[in-house]
């Protein structure tokens, strides 16, 4: 973990100090071991241990998340998964390239190609031509076993809702700066949503989505397209490093609320 990205680790340290919980930070902060009495607890990455293994895996898989939400009748951006040619035993005999081209042809306004698993907006490509699709697929497959394709949509607003057991202690919009992506790491700025009908609407669909996936602690990205709200994706590792630079007390309180449930 980089030295300038330790907000999560520091939040866990402060929590353990307040509650007299023994703590040992290992692997440069990637693994934290906490002990109270005879029982050990762990964090790994940004996962505090509240989520089941299957909920974590579904949320970490963009196509699986979209499928689960669609089955639950929750509006979302569809994602279609494609396997790396290295997984030839699981790829259809016809291969994946023609299927990618066919999907691209269904969306003349463009498509977004990205790793099917991953966060922080890395290796995300807006594709409007077949050569761009080929380059995007080649780059993603050079380091990932799967990619996901979704239709490009004109996002009017994107809001991240941090959900903890159907509560939402953190709700903020991502305001773009100089590019089409809403990721904070790509230059977007967080703006907290004030209480009111708009905030309640974003929270309602985010909580509903988290419940459908069966996840307890997650960041849910909700977008407004054509005036309607849709789920873009769910992140099971709740990373708030960039947000913490603007609202450190809020981030600390959110991690504390999650850890309260771990030690309940």
Average pLDDT over residues 250-264: 97
| pLDDT for the residue numbered 120 | 63
Say yes or no to pLDDT of 1 above 50: no
189, 247 Cβ separation under 8 angstroms: no
Say yes or no to pLDDT of 94 above 80: no
What contacts 84, CB < 8 A, 6 or more positions away? 141, 144, 145, 146, 147
Q: Quick one: tokens of 61?
A: 């898989």
Average pLDDT over residues 21-50: 96
Say yes or no to pLDDT of 42 above 70: yes
Q: For 158-216, how does the pLDDT look when each residue is reduced to its tens digit (9 = 90+)?
A: 999 999 999 999 999 988 776 655 565 556 789 999 999 999 999 999 999 999 999 99
Q: Which domains occur in the chain, in start order?
A: 7-44 (no CATH), 53-77+154-262 (3.30.470.20), 80-151 (3.30.1490.20)
Say yes or no to pLDDT of 49 above 90: yes
Specify which residues 126 forms β-bridges with. Answer: 112
| pLDDT for the residue numbered 186 | 57
Q: Quick one: tokens of 257?
A: 């609320």
222, 229 Cβ separation under 8 angstroms: yes
């Amino acid at each position: 973990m980089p030295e300038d990205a330790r907000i999560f680790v520091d939040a866990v340290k402060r929590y353990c100090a307040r509650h007299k919980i023994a703590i040992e930070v290992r692997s440069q902060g990637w693994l934290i071991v906490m002990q109270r009495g005879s029982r050990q607890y762990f964090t790994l990455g940004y996962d505090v241990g509240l989520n089941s293994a299957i909920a974590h895996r579904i949320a970490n898989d963009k196509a699986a998340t979209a499928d689960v939400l669609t089955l639950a009748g929750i509006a979302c951006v569809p994602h279609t998964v494609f396997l790396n040619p290295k997984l030839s035993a699981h790829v259809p005999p016809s291969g994946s390239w023609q299927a990618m081209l066919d999907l691209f042809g269904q969306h003349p306004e463009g498509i977004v190609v990205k790793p099917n698993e991953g966060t922080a907006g890395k290796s995300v490509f807006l594709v409007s031509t077949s050569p761009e699709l080929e380059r995007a697929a080649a780059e993603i497959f050079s380091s990932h076993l799967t990619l996901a394709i979704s239709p490009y949509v004109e996002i009017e607003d994107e809001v991240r809702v941090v959900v903890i057991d159907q509560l939402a202690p953190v709700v903020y919009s991502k305001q773009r700066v100089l590019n089409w992506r809403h990721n904070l790491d790509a230059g977007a700025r967080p703006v907290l949503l004030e209480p009111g009908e708009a905030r309640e609407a974003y929270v309602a669909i985010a909580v509903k989505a988290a419940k459908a996936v069966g996840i307890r602690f997650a960041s849910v990205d909700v977008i407004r397209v054509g005036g309607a709200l849709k789920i873009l994706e769910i992140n099971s590792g709740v990373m708030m490093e960039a947000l913490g630079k603007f609202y450190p007390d809020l981030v600390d309180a959110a991690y504390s609320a999650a850890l309260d449930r771990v030690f309940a």
